[in-house]
Amino acid sequence: MTERQDSPGSRLRRLLDRQMVTLPGAFNALTAIQIERAGFEALYISGAGLSAARGLPDLGLLSLTEVVSDAATISRAVTIPALMDADTGFGSALNVMRTVEQCEAAGLAGMQLEDQELPKRCGHLPGKVLVSTSEMADKLRAACLARRDPDFLIVARTDARAVEGMEGAVKRALAYIEAGADALFPEALESAEEFRFFAERMAKEGVKVPLVANMTEFGKTPYLSAGEFEALGYRLVLFPVSALRVAAKAVEEFLHDLKRVGSQKDRLSQMQTRRELYDLLRYEDYERQSRLLEKHHEERHDDTSDR
Ligand SMILES: C[C@](O)(C(=O)O)[C@H](CC(=O)O)C(=O)O
């Protein structure tokens, strides 16, 4: 019981019971620490973000081992719960069971599965192909069976809006709830009205699980604030690639400048200082620990030389 209450999944569920939760996407542990320091109570581990950080496009190219290894590094760097983008689950329903086991072992609060075929695409791009509703439902059932912590959150994303229209998205969402999904993520809706329509249809069907909105940039979804999504009936709002885009742009501009000018002097005000970076990394704590170890070593050494 204690374990259940303290698990990352139960912490995320408790947050969701209380309020709408905004999840910025982390693409490495440093960004995750920044997300926590900025006061966010949960974070998202974006597949697009992890892929980009490894120099790859978001086409489902990373292996389970690579994604879980990055996700574990991220989730261990913070105390807030992390929800991981597991794309299509890394294979069949059987693979999905292993994915869940590894995500739980990595300390994640939950994971998101989507109903695309491989190679999967960013939900906001054309050319998506969906697996059958029953294949996705099998994966969700397998995910629920595999979890050891009943609070580990299984989010079902449907990419149906672009392929089968809003009615298709509603139909699939209902089947995914039936299969055991804990939250629904209708991907790439194109207007506030569509978000409202989806939420109202779920309510009408008696579906009470949290709904996820993906507020990614340069996609199909218009720019709505977390508060606006909340008013439309959404409990989790993702900003999956925003921090990466901001960081990548800043680095690009800086490097062009450095190449041109040959100095970084005029850009210092845009840089995190040494002190600020060390503060994020708790440098002092490690130094203190190192001094303590040194002291222990010296004491032991004195002891033995006394004999
Ligand atoms: C949510 C998403 O799957 C991600 O990997 O973060 C992407 C985000 C993006 O490409 O903007 C998505 O498919 O929407």
The predicted-structure confidence for 212-243, as pLDDT tens digits, reads as follows 999 999 999 999 999 999 999 999 999 999 99
Give the Å distance between the CA of 219 and the centre of ligand 1: 9
Q: How far is CA 297 from CA 76, 196, 289, in A?
A: 29, 64, 12
**Substitution candidate for ligand 1 out of 122, 218, 223 with most atoms within 8 A of CB:** 122
Contact in structure between 67 and 86 (CB atoms under 8 Å): yes
pLDDT in tens, 25-67: 999 999 999 999 999 999 999 999 999 999 999 999 999 999 9
What atom of ligand 1 comes closest to residue 87's alpha carbon?
Answer: 3
Q: Is the ipTM of this complex over 0.95?
A: yes
116 Cβ inside 6 Å of ligand 1: no
pLDDT in tens, 100-125: 999 999 999 999 999 999 999 999 99
85 Cβ inside 6 Å of ligand 1: yes
88 Cβ inside 6 Å of ligand 1: no
Helices (DSSP H) in 54-151: which residue ranges?
Answer: 64-76, 93-105, 133-146
Q: What integer best gives the mean pLDDT of the chain?
A: 96
219 Cβ inside 6 Å of ligand 1: yes
pLDDT at site 234: 98
What atom of ligand 1 comes closest to residue 216's alpha carbon?
Answer: 11
Query: How many other C-beta atoms are found inside a 10 Å radius of the C-beta of residue 284?
Result: 10
CA nearest to 136, candidates 103, 102, 165, 159:
159
Q: How far is CA 165 from CA 130, 157, 161, 176, 187, in A?
A: 12, 15, 4, 17, 11
What atom of ligand 1 comes closest to residue 47's alpha carbon?
Answer: 5
**Substitution candidate for ligand 1 out of 23, 54, 56, 58 with most atoms within 8 A of CB:** 58
Q: How far is CA 114 from CA 1, 88, 135, in A?
A: 31, 5, 11
| Antiparallel, parallel or unpaired: β 110-114 and 212-214 | unpaired
Backbone angles phi, psi at 275, to 5 degrees: -60, -45
Token pair belonging to 117 = 């075929």
123 Cβ inside 6 Å of ligand 1: yes
pLDDT in tens, 128-187: 999 999 999 999 999 999 999 999 999 999 999 999 999 999 999 999 999 999 999 999
pLDDT at site 300: 86
Question: Is-above-0.90 flag for pTM?
Answer: yes
Which residue, chain included where needed, has tokens 């069971």?
A: 97
Contact in structure between 47 and 74 (CB atoms under 8 Å): no
Give the Å distance between the CA of 123 and the centre of ligand 1: 6
48 Cβ inside 6 Å of ligand 1: yes
pLDDT in tens, 189-210: 999 999 999 999 999 999 999 9
122 Cβ inside 6 Å of ligand 1: yes
pLDDT in tens, 239-273: 999 999 999 999 999 999 999 999 999 999 999 99
pLDDT at site 3: 47
Query: 236: part of which helix (H) or strand (E)?
Result: strand 236-239
Indicate the pLDDT class of residue 2, thresholds 50, 70 and 90.
very low
Indicate the pLDDT class of residue 302, thresholds 50, 70 and 90.
confident
pLDDT in tens, 276-298: 999 999 999 999 999 999 999 99
Q: Can you state the angle between helices 133-146 and 93-105, rounded to 10 degrees?
A: 40
| Residue 305 scores a pLDDT above 80 | no
> Which value, in Å, is the radius of gyration of the alpha carbons in the chain?
22
**Substitution candidate for ligand 1 out of 116, 218, 241, 242 with most atoms within 8 A of CB:** 241
How far apart CA 93 and CA 136 sit, in angstroms, is: 8
pLDDT at site 306: 63
Indicate the pLDDT class of residue 301, thresholds 50, 70 and 90.
confident
